[in-house]
Amino acid sequence: MKKYIFILMVAMVNLLVISGYAGDKQAKGKSKFQVIVSHTPEQCLAQLDQISAKGSDILNKFEWGCKSGNHTGYALIEADNDAAVKSMLPMEIQSDLRIVKVDKFTQADLQAIHEKMK
């Protein structure tokens, strides 16, 4: 019986990967944005609390340099545009945000760029 459950689980994972629901797939129509927000040591706890107040899903997207003395938060967020990203974050920090749309390059992308440069 355990053997059949294992086979079923493997088949389900394969189905998810093939159908695009697992892995590093972006949601259709969404872009990825790098969010960078800095603060002073004195602002640290307040900024963490403000982001935490938006929910654990937002707080968990951030990585922080605070413990090493670099009071900067970094997050990778999927959204339709930078305005949508900004709206997900606390009003108190929106003026201090840096939001950059980021993309990945494949080997084929690089080859195409080199071909255009010739």
Between strands 31-38 and 97-102, the pairing is: antiparallel
The closest alpha carbon to 74, from 83, 64, 84, belongs to 64
Continuous segment of H or E residues that includes residue 60: none
* Domain definitions of the chain by residue range: 31-108
Q: Looking at residue 10, what is its pLDDT?
A: 40
- Say if CB 71 and CB 39 are below 8 A apart: yes
As a dihedral over the C-alpha atoms of residue 39, residue 44, residue 50, residue 56, rounded to 10 degrees, the angle is: 110
Other beta carbons within 10 Å of 61: 18
pTM given for the model: 0.70
Q: 67-113 pLDDT, tens per residue?
A: 999 999 999 999 999 999 999 999 999 988 999 999 999 999 999 99
Q: What is the CATH number of domain 31-108?
A: 3.30.70
pLDDT over 70 (residue 36): yes
Under the banding of pLDDT at 50, 70 and 90, the label for residue 28 is confident
